[in-house]
Amino acid sequence: MSKETDRDLEKTYSVKQTVAKLRRLTDCLESDKPFTIQVAGERIRVPATAVFNVEHEREGREEELDFQFKWTN
């Protein structure tokens, strides 16, 4: 019996690293190919069929903008 684990991984990148990752991401999106990225030591494969959304959160003076991909394994 497998046990599912809820967790959040987060990694901060420099502007140069972010630009490189976004370029790879857009190349994959335009080519209808999966996108692979390593986050906090875990390799994540985002399928080409993933759904993309943008989420904005505001709490007091702090704001957050998330670009998200969602899919089911």
pTM passes above 0.75: no
Its domain, for residue 66, covers 15-70
Q: For residue 2, tell me if it sits in a domain.
A: no
Q: For residue 10, tell me if it sits in a domain.
A: no
Give the SS3 label for residue 67.
strand
- Supply 34's token pair: 């999966």
Number of domains in the chain: 1
Q: For residue 62, tell me if it sits in a domain.
A: yes
Give the SS3 label for residue 42.
strand
Q: For residue 46, tell me if it sits in a domain.
A: yes
The 10s digit of each residue's pLDDT in 6-63 is 778 888 889 999 999 999 999 999 999 999 998 888 899 999 999 999 999 999 999 9
Q: For residue 9, tell me if it sits in a domain.
A: no
| pLDDT value at residue 3 | 57
Length of the chain: 73
| pLDDT value at residue 7 | 75
Q: For residue 5, tell me if it sits in a domain.
A: no
Q: For residue 49, tell me if it sits in a domain.
A: yes
